[in-house]
């Protein structure tokens, strides 16, 4: 079972290891590769032009919001100054109120206090405190159109961090990055560290973990914080000045314990929330500052803007988590690896577009593949990996749609050509039939060619040696496989291909040599060869390598399929096959037949001796096609003479012998093979119902009602009562196959 699945997968993507690799498949792989490379270039170029950046960042925000919620950071306490607090006092808070707040907190021995409120005029900040050095103040760096805001004058610069936050583009203004370190350019706000980084560093220093900038890397102890590049992740050419990191947000509802100014002043805070903790003080009142946008601004049940104090707490928490809890920072691939990632999904889309030709099915399969892509990106994001999502998704969709559109267009063109060739074929058949009837109306030799299968009979000894015969200066004849009055089939070697591989040479001799007959025969031969050339692109149909005419004799050079015919597998009466075997046999033949019928070609002679079980992969291969053997003389296999069609008694339905074959005629033949496998009785021995004309066979087989109904519909006497397409039979077989296989295994 496993080997059969592997063979099936191989047939989907490789098809065959014969000469087809150097003809048809290379052509399609070239289309796939060119499309993949083209779409990759287009999407990558769009990305470089920042056309996709807003989409990518929205996808990033969504993945950030979709992560599981973690418990609050117990090392941090946020003291907020709310609108309710301001109703009890005025803004800005008085120096006395600030010092009172600091004194209340200091009484419970916090490790570090961060005051995220501007105090440029306060001369006595932290006055009378036992440990004023554990208080971190803030200032604001100058920028275009804005002057610096200096720190409290009585505080050393080592206890000052700048309050600046970096929003993304002017379009969304979302804070996704943290500036933790920058070279000072101001006179008063001359600190190197951001407020959030400095409070975290001071907290860690009390655990003997120190900051280090060796080799231009920001380190806290042994933990390295890689600097954010201008093209980090899905960013394109951002302002990466200073030392920036991606902000790995906690869920806002579970950031840290939060209390208000009034609660602290009124002793309404659990002392354990303060002792040995990092306390960050800041305002949340919208009347003071409206807040900033974050990835959670688009989340339901979250405010549109987030107070800056919470963003600083997020940054500080991230630094502590990375150093103390070994939580990974958000990482991303370099550009060259992201390009490979993008190209790989473009290639996947191209392959899907090539293999799945039906638009609705492509939407379903493409949707599943897209879900896999989203799942991979989301899964890696849970491990802090930021992989591009939008570009590969676009490449997947665009390449799949492009290849499917192109293949559909080429298939329509090919179908139109095939329809024209089939029409020309039928015209030539009718003309040949008229010519033969004029001169041989009373004979049984109304044949154009004798084209036997190269597996239909044993090797015949030729009347003269053929080993020295080199046909067309290329094909070394090895032996005669089959011979008749109007043609021969040889096993040969192609001397112009590497390794001199085996092939089959079919020599077709016209029944008459007059000019008019040869002219029509030549037209039929060329048309039929062109049809066989197209059909041979299927992995379960021999490839037509060449066709030509020499001395008014026609030659077909086809792929040699080593193996045995299905006739050798079908049973005598004491060795009938199981339903599971029959279903698999029918499905495999019908899959090939569906391809043939899609090109509006009727095989006309489906029977066990025209189906080979290949030694290479154990697949069934359908051989001996069509009109080149029309009006063939009688043979040991009781090939029926017909005016416009050929067939074998027992396998060919009535309308085919009447000269009017249809697609349903081939379905009849496949159904008779299924009945033969179940009953062990040759189709020629089965009797029809006198009233309906339908074959009577059920009493000779032990078969489920479901399979019997399908076979009965396949072999109805009147073609209008049968399945009208191989796909319809396959659909019913697939519906019952699981049930049949399950019951047979019990």
What residues are labeled active site? Answer: 605
Q: Which residues contact 339 (CB under 8 A, 6 or more apart)?
A: 40, 44
CA 612 to chain centre: 33
Nearest to 397 by CA among 345, 321, 470: 345
Nearest to 30 by CA among 354, 397, 251: 354
The strand pair at 331-332 and 385-386 is best described as parallel
Rg (C-alpha) for the chain, rounded Å, is 41
Contact 496, 473 (CB under 8 A): no
Residue that the structure tokens 């239909």 belong to: 456
Q: Which residues contact 51 (CB under 8 A, 6 or more apart)?
A: none
Contact 189, 163 (CB under 8 A): no
Contact 680, 574 (CB under 8 A): yes
CA 140 to chain centre: 50
* Neighbouring C-alpha atoms within 13 Å toward the C-beta of 27: 7
H helical segments located in 325-389? 335-355, 359-382
Q: How far is CA 78 from CA 162, 254, 259, 547, 621, in A?
A: 18, 12, 6, 86, 75
Neighbours of 189 (CB within 10 A): 24
CA 623 to chain centre: 33
CA-to-CA distance for 257 and 240, rounded, in angstroms? 32
Contact 141, 182 (CB under 8 A): yes
Max intra-chain CA distance, the chain: 130
Contact 655, 604 (CB under 8 A): no
Contact 139, 115 (CB under 8 A): no
CA-to-CA distance for 589 and 655, rounded, in angstroms? 22
Contact 407, 354 (CB under 8 A): yes
CA-to-CA distance for 387 and 372, rounded, in angstroms? 14
Nearest to 421 by CA among 594, 546, 554, 599: 599
Angle separating helix axes 726-745 and 663-679, nearest 10 degrees: 20
CA-to-CA distance for 445 and 621, rounded, in angstroms? 30
Nearest to 485 by CA among 516, 503, 460: 460
Structure tokens at 418: 């095939």
The strand pair at 135-139 and 112-115 is best described as parallel
Contact 7, 617 (CB under 8 A): yes
Contact 175, 292 (CB under 8 A): yes
As a whole number of Å, the end-to-end CA separation of the chain is: 17
């Amino acid at each position: 079972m496993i080997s059969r699945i592997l063979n099936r997968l191989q047939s989907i993507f490789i098809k065959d290891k014969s000469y087809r690799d150097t003809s048809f498949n290379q052509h399609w792989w070239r289309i796939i590769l060119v499309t993949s490379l083209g779409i990759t270039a287009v999407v990558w170029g769009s990305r470089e032009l920042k056309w996709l950046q807003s989409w990518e960042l929205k996808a990033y925000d969504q993945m950030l919001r979709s992560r599981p919620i973690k418990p609050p950071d117990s090392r941090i306490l946020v003291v907020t100054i709310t609108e309710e607090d301001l109703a009890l006092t005025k803004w800005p808070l008085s120096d006395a109120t600030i010092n009172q707040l600091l004194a209340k907190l200091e009484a419970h021995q916090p490790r570090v206090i961060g005051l995220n409120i501007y105090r440029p005029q306060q001369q006595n900040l932290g006055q009378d405190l036992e440990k004023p050095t554990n208080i971190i103040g803030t200032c604001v760096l100058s920028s275009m159109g804005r002057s610096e805001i200096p720190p409290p004058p009585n505080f050393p610069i080592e206890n000052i961090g700048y309050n600046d936050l970096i929003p993304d583009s002017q379009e969304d203004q979302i804070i996704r990055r943290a500036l933790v370190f920058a070279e000072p350019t101001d006179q008063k706000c001359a600190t190197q560290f951001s407020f959030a980084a400095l409070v975290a560093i001071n907290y860690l220093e009390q655990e003997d973990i120190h900051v280090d900038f060796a080799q231009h890397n920001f380190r806290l102890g042994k933990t390295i914080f890689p600097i954010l590049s201008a093209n980090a992740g899905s960013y394109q050419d951002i302002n990466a000045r200073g030392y920036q990191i991606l902000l790995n947000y906690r869920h806002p509802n579970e950031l840290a314990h939060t209390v208000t100014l009034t609660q602290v002043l009124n002793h309404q805070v659990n002392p354990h929330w303060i002792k040995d903790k990092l306390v960050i003080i800041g305002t949340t009142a919208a009347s003071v500052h409206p807040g900033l946008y974050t990835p959670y601004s688009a989340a339901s049940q979250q405010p549109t803007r987030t107070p800056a104090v919470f963003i600083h707490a997020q940054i500080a928490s991230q630094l502590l988590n990375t150093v103390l809890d070994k939580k990974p920072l958000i990482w991303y691939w370099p550009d060259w690896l992201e390009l490979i990632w993008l190209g790989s999904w473009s290639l996947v889309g191209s392959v899907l577009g090539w293999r799945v030709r039906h638009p609705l099915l492509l939407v379903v399969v493409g949707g599943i593949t897209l879900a896999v892509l989203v799942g991979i990106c989301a899964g890696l994001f849970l491990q802090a990996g930021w992989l591009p999502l939008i570009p590969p998704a676009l490449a997947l969709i665009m390449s799949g749609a492009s290849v499917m559109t192109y293949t559909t267009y080429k298939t329509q063109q090919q179908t139109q050509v095939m329809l024209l060739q089939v029409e020309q074929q039928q015209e030539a058949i009718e003309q040949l039939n008229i010519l033969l009837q004029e001169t041989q109306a009373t004979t049984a030799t109304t044949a154009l060619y004798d084209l036997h299968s190269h597996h239909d009979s044993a090797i015949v000894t030729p009347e003269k040696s053929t080993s020295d015969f080199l046909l067309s200066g290329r094909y070394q004849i090895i032996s005669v496989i089959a011979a008749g009055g109007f043609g021969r089939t040889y096993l040969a070697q192609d001397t112009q291909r590497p390794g001199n591989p085996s092939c089959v040479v079919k020599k077709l001799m016209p029944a008459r040599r007059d000019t008019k007959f040869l002219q029509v025969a030549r037209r039929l031969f060329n048309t039929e060869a062109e049809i066989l050339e197209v059909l041979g692109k299927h992995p379960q149909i021999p490839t037509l390598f060449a066709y030509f005419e020499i001395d008014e004799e026609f030659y077909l050079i086809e792929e040699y399929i080593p193996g045995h015919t299905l006739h050798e597998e079908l049973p005598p009466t004491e060795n009938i096959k199981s339903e599971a075997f029959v279903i698999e046999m029918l499905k495999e033949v019908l899959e090939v037949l569906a391809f043939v019928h899609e090109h509006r070609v009727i095989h006309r002679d489906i029977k066990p001796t025209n189906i080979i079980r290949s030694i290479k992969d154990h697949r069934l291969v359908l051989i001996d096609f069509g009109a080149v053997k029309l009006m063939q003389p009688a043979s040991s296999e009781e090939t029926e003479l017909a005016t416009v069609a050929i067939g074998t008694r027992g396998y060919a339905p009535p309308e085919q012998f009447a000269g009017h074959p249809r697609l349903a005629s081939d379905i009849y033949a496949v159904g008779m093979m299924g009945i033969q496998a179940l009953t062990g009785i040759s189709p020629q021995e089965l009797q029809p119902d006198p009233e309906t004309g339908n074959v009577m066979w059920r009493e000779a087989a032990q078969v489920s009602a479901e399979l019997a109904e399908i076979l009965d519909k396949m072999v109805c006497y009147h073609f209008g009562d049968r399945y009208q397409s191989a796909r319809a039979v396959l659909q019913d077989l697939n519906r019952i196959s699981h049930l049949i296989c399950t019951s047979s295994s019990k």
